[in-house]
Chains A and B, each alone.
Chain A
C-alpha cells in the first residue's frame, strides 16, 4: 500500500492525471495522436509574413486567429488555454478558475514584436524625433496598456494564472529548449516536498515572426530545405541540416498518487524520475565528451530507481541539427550501454518540428500517450539514416510495442539538460 504512495526514496509518487496538447498537427490528444502514428508532418511554408530574403521559409505555425496584426503573447496564451483546458477537464480537478495546486509555465522570453513597435513609432506625438526618443515620446502620450499587460516577461503566465486560478504565484520559467521539461521537474519537486498536492505544468510557444527566424538563422540552427517543408525535419538522417521552428502547447496535470487515488482520478502514468546537469562548455554546444548530458541521463535513472534495461522506449530530443543528434546518440550510448541496443527511440520533432519552450511538455504528453497506446510514433523523413548514429530510430512507420516506461530528453542553449522518465500506472 505505502509502496505505491511513496517511491523508492520515500518520497510521494507523482502521477499524471490530465494531458492536453495543441500542435501544427491539430488540436487535442486525439487528432495529434492520429497524425503522429500516421507519420504526418505539420510543417509548411510560412504564410504569416513575407519570407523573401530569409534563408529559412518553413515552419510548423498554427494560424493566428486574433484580430489585426500578429501578437505573439496573445497567440501563446490562446494555445496554452486550449491545452490546459483539455488537461484539466480530463483530470476532473478543481473547479472553473480554481486549480488546487501550483502552476509552472514554460514560455519564451517576451519581446515587443515589430508590428507593435511600429504601431508605437508611427504615432504623431513624437513630432520630428526619431529612434527611441520618438518611441518614448509616443508612449508617454499614448495609451498602450494592452502592450504593457502582454509584453512583460511574466505576462503569459500571469494571464494563465488569472484564467485557471492556481495557488500561490505562477512560476514563469525558461531554460531555452529544455523549458517544458523543466516545468515538469519543478512540478514534481514541489509535490515531492509537500508544497502542493497538484501542479499544472504548461509549455507554450507561439512566437514565429521575422526576427525569431532571423535570430535562429544567424546561429545556423535552422533547416533551409524550403522546397520540401514536410521533409525538412529529418532527425538522425545523414542529410539533416537543422531544426524546423514550430508552435504549440501542452499541459500536464501532476498530482501526488495519494491525492489522485483519494479523489478516484484515472491515472495516466507516473513521473518516475528527473535528472539534470548544467554544461559549462559553450553557449550553444555540449561538451565534446557528452559528460553533462550523460550525467543528466544517469541522474534521471538514479532518481527513478531504474536500470537502463528497464527503459522500453526513448522519446528523443532529436532536433535534426547535425550537432544535437550526434551528441544525443553519444550520450545515450554511454549512459545506457548495451541496453541501448534494441531500445527503440524516435523523434516527434520529425513531424511537429521544434516547438522550443513547449517541446519538453509536448514530448512528455506524447510519451504518456505512447505508453497508453502501446504504439511508438515513428521518426519520419528517415530514408537514409546517419551511419554514425547506430540506434533503432523507428524509421518512417509506427511500431506496435509494449511500452511501460519512457525516457524523454530535452537539451537547450545555455548548457541546459533535462531528462524525464515516465512509466505506466503503479501496481
Chain B
C-alpha cells in the first residue's frame, strides 16, 4: 500500500512554477529596488538605454560593435547560468543535471518570460546532428535595434545563449543568429553548435540565406 502520509510529508513544500512573475519579482517602492525571490537585486533596462547602446557602440567602434555585444552576452550568460542553476537547485531540491529535460526547458521558458526577454522555445529536433535551435519572439533586443540594419542584431542574446548552453552541455558552443525580428522576421532564430561547425552558418547568412536553408545546409554538411 502507498503511504501517502509519508509521500507528502517527506518532501514538502511541493514546488510549482518558480519563475511565475508575481512570485519571482518583488519591489520596494520606498528605496526603489526590485529583487527576485532569491533576494538578488534586479536591474530594469529602459528601451531607450538599449537603443542608446546600439547607437553609441556603432558610433564608437562601428563594425566591431556586434562582437563587443556578443562578448558582453557571453559574460552575462556565464553569470546568468550560475544564478539560474543555484536558484533552481534551491527551489526544486535537485541540481540541473538531475532535472528532467522537460522540467529544465519549462524553467528556462518561464524564466525568460519573467525577465522580460520575450518568449523562448528550444527546438531539439537537430540534436542528433549536433545543433540546438533556439527561437525567441518579442525580443527587446531586436525591438531596440536600429530598423535599417541588414543583419541579425541580437548579439547580446546570442552571446548569452552560447555561454548558457556551453555551461549546460559542458561543451564549448558558439551561437549564430539566423533570423531577426529587427529585419521583419516573425521570430529570432539562434543556432548553437561546436564553433567550427556552426560558424559556417555565418557565411551563408552573409550570402542572404534564410534560417531554413541554413539549417538544411548545416545538416547536409554534417552528413558529408
Partners in one complex: no
Which residue numbers of B lie inside 8 Å of A, CB to CB?
none
Which residue numbers of A lie inside 8 Å of B, CB to CB?
none
